[in-house]
Amino acid sequence: MIKCHLSKLMGEKKLKISDVAKDTGINRGTITRLYHETAVRVEFDVLEQLCVYLGCEIGELLELDVD
């Protein structure tokens, strides 16, 4: 299972879903699904935009949980 740490990263920076959507141009629904870890798929350009915006590496945003 792949875990998404978007909520943690946003919390550390005190960002709201609406802030991220407005600042990045990413659809609010996409951010909401990633935030709540209900996304089934995500485009690479969305991951890239989020990493650039949050100043993080892909490994900080996504993690493979093999347990």
**This model's pTM is above 0.75:** yes
pLDDT truncated to tens, each residue of the chain (67 aa)? 999 999 999 999 999 999 999 999 999 999 999 999 999 999 999 999 999 999 999 999 999 998 7
Q: What's the CATH superfamily of 2-64? A: lambda repressor-like DNA-binding domains (1.10.260.40)
* H/E segment holding residue 9: helix 6-12
Q: Are 61 and 4 a contacting pair, CB within 8 Å?
A: yes
CA distance 52 to 67: 29
Domain residue ranges in the chain: 2-64
Token pair, residue 59, equals: 């490994």
CA 66 to chain centre: 20
